[in-house]
Amino acid sequence: MKIDSDKKCIVTSSVEESFEAASLLANFVREYDSFVLSGELGAGKTHFAKGFAAALGISEPVSSPTFSLANVYTSGRLELIHFDLYRLNEASELDDIDFYSLTESGAVCLIEWGEKFIDEMPNDYIHIIIKKGEGETERIICFEAHGTRSQELIEELFSGN
């Protein structure tokens, strides 16, 4: 795993390293933190979510909420809500899944495909962009702050690297 503190990116060369990158971030999260996970199909958003959940101590199996749209996990040190907005077409559909209430509930939120509705995201979130790198397993994971808390979180993540 290579950490580029200047660009706020982590380059991983395996699924295990992507889990580790997610774990690093999860070590600093607290209630109400939100993350938008972006990347093409197969980029590793759900793998990132699995590593993140494991670091929170989530004991249930974590899977993509593609058909349920949101999965709630309560067995870790913080409640985690994992959204997958891929199948939604209009921002008005966010009401149907109680998106706004859930993101304001105090849980940590991972929101796959949230970039489709970027104006509807929580006021303070980290945009995590995952891109395929060279080879089959390399991933470039970059972090963009959108708000004061998210900026502090990114600074904690990359401090000392």
| Residue percentage of the chain with pLDDT more than 90 | 84
pLDDT digits (tens, 9 = 90+) for 4-20: 999 999 999 999 999 99
CB-based burial, 86-119: b 16+ in 10 Å, e otherwise: eebeeeeebeebebeebbeeebbbbbbbbebbee
Query: Where is 144: in which H helix or E strand?
Result: strand 139-146
Residue 53 has pLDDT above 90, yes or no: yes
For the chain, the domains span: 2-158
Which listed CATH number (3.40.50.300, 3.40.630.30, 3.40.1280.10, 3.40.1390.30) goes with 2-158? 3.40.50.300
State residue 64's pLDDT score.
79
- Interatomic CA distance for residues 119 and 7, integer angstroms: 24
Are 78 and 54 in contact by the 8 Å Cβ rule? The answer is no
Model-wide pTM > 0.85: yes
